[in-house]
Structure 1
Amino acid sequence: MMPVNRRRFLAMALSFPAVASAAVNSPSPSGVPDLVEAMLTRAHVPRHSNELWVLIDDQESTLSVFRGNALLERFAPISLGRAGAKTQRVRGDSVTPLGEFRINRFNYESQWRTFMAIDYPTPAHARMALESGVYSQTDYEDYFEYYRRYGHPSQNTALGGAIGIHGLGGADPDIHGRYNWTQGCVAVTNEQIDRLAELVGVGTRVVIR
C-alpha cells in the first residue's frame, strides 16, 4: 500500500467538491462539463524543465517519454482499448480513459510481462460520473473516503479500474501491430515495456490524450 500524499489529495478534494444529490436525480450527460478534456488542454506542458513524463497519443498511436520538452523515447504503434479512448469509461466497456494520471504501482509478475498501474479513476473522472448519474452521491463520497484511507482510488466502482501500461506477454505481436485489442489499458511490445520500466517510476505523470 502506498502512503497518501496528503497535500496532493487535499488539493484534489478541494478541486472536486461534492455537489447536491439533485444533480444525480436529474442527470443530463450532454450538458455535463468535460472536466478531463479541460485538464488535457494544459496537461502536455511539463511541470518543470526537468520533469520526466509520458505522453500517450491516441490519434498518433504513440507513447512518448519526455524530459521537460525534450523527447527521450517514442514507441509506435501502441494498442489501446478495443472500444477506443474517451474521457469517461465505465466498467467492462473496453475504453481507454483519457486524462492525466500518475503511475502508482509496478507488477513485474504480470501475464503481460510488466504492468504499470495508473491512478484511474481520478477525482475529475469521479466528478463527471456524479454529474452524469453514473455515480450516486454516496458513490462519490465513498470514492474520496477510499482515496483518503488507502492513497489510491478504488478499482471496484462503476468506472472500473486496473488500467495501466503493459507489454504483450504471450499475446500475438501481429494483432498488436494492426488493432487496438486491450480491455482499456495501453499496450506496447515486451521490448518496449522493458525499456519503459528503465525510464519511469512510481509517481511519473502519464497523459493520455
Structure 2
Amino acid sequence: MFLVNRRRFLAMVLSLPAVASAAVTAPNQDTATDLVEAMLSRAHVPRHSNELWVLVDDKEATLSVFRGNALLERFAPISLGRAGAKTQRVRGDNVTPMGEFHVNRFNYESQWRTFIGIDYPTPVHARMALEKGIYSQADYDDYFDYYRRYGRPPQDTALGGAIGIHGLGSADPDIHGRYHWTQGCVAVTNDQIDRLAALVGVGTRVVIR
C-alpha cells in the first residue's frame, strides 16, 4: 500500500526550488494554485531518458506519448471537459483538472471502450481546495486519512473524481472531432485508446496542462 504522510508530502513539495519560490512570494489564498503551476512548468521534463510518459496539451488539443524526449505517438484532436482545463476543479463543473498525475487503474469493460484512470485529486489539489475554502480542515484531514488507508485519493469529495483517459465507445466521432464534450476526462478515439492502453501501465506519469 502506498502511504502518504501530509507533512512529509508538503515538505517534499516545498523543497523544490520553483515551488518553494512560488510558495514564498504568493499570497496565502493563492499558494496552492501557484504550486500546481510551478509543477506544470517543470513537468514536461522527463524524469530520466527512458521514462514513458504522457502529455495532454489543452491549447493544442493533443495527447502525446514520449519515451524520454522522443515522441512515440500523438493523438489529435482530443476532447476535454466541456468547461475546459483548469488547475481548480470541483465536482460537477465539467472541468478537466490540470496537473501532474499517474495512471492508477484500467477498466477494459467501460462504456467508453477502455478507461485509464489517473490519481486525481492529488495532495496538491487537496491543499488548493483547503486554502480556497472548498475543503474544510476536516475534509482535508479525511482526504489524507483515506489516502493513507487505501493508497489512492477519495473520489467522492467536493473535488469530484473518476477522471481519466478514455475512448468514445458508441459516442459520435463527429462531435468528438468538433467539440470538447466530456465531464472532465480526456477522450480519444477507440483506435487511439487501444494504442494508448498498449503503451502505458499503472504508474505511468500523465501531465495535463
**TM-score for the superposition, normalised by structure 1:** 0.89
Does the Cα contact within 8 Å between 2:79 and 2:180 map onto a contact in 1?
yes
Within 5 Å, give how 1:58-207 maps onto structure 2. Answer: 58-207=58-207
Which residue number corresponds to residue 24 of structure 1?
none
Does the Cα contact within 8 Å between 2:94 and 2:183 map onto a contact in 1?
yes
Q: Give 1:32 shift.
A: 1.4
Q: Which runs of 5+ in 1 are unaligned?
A: 18-28
Q: Give 1:31 shift.
A: 4.0
SS state at 2:139 partner: helix
- For residues 51-82 of structure 1, the C-alpha deviation after alignment (integer angstroms, 9 at most, x for no partner) is 00000000000000000000000000000000
Which residue number corresponds to residue 30 of structure 2?
32
Does the Cα contact within 8 Å between 1:9 and 1:148 map onto a contact in 2?
no
Give the CA RMSD over aligned residues.
1.9
Q: Residue 199 of structure 1 aligns to which amino acid in structure 2?
A: L
**TM-score for the superposition, normalised by structure 2:** 0.89
- For residues 14-53 of structure 1, the C-alpha deviation after alignment (integer angstroms, 9 at most, x for no partner) is 4479xxxxxxxxxxx9941212111101000000000000
Is residue 12 from structure 1 mapped to residue 17 from structure 2 by the alignment? Answer: no
Q: Which runs of 5+ in 2 are unaligned?
A: 15-26
Q: Percent identity?
A: 78
Does the Cα contact within 8 Å between 1:16 and 1:127 map onto a contact in 2?
no
Q: 1:141 to 1:101 in 2, by over 3 A?
A: same
Q: Residue 205 of structure 2 aligns to which amino acid in structure 1?
A: R
Distance 1:129 1:65 in 2: 30
Does the Cα contact within 8 Å between 2:6 and 2:144 map onto a contact in 1?
no
Q: Give 1:13 shift.
A: 5.2
SS state at 2:72 partner: strand
Distance 2:205 2:5 in 1: 13
Q: 1:16 to 1:48 in 2, by over 3 A?
A: closer
Distance 2:28 2:112 in 1: 37
Does the Cα contact within 8 Å between 2:82 and 2:94 map onto a contact in 1?
yes
Distance 2:108 2:138 in 1: 35
- For residues 114-168 of structure 1, the C-alpha deviation after alignment (integer angstroms, 9 at most, x for no partner) is 0000000001100000000000000001001100000000000000000000000
Distance 2:37 2:172 in 1: 33
Q: How many residues align?
A: 195
Does the Cα contact within 8 Å between 1:83 and 1:94 map onto a contact in 2?
yes
Does the Cα contact within 8 Å between 1:13 and 1:144 map onto a contact in 2?
no
Distance 1:89 1:7 in 2: 22
Does the Cα contact within 8 Å between 1:103 and 1:116 map onto a contact in 2?
yes
Distance 1:115 1:130 in 2: 29
SS state at 2:83 partner: coil
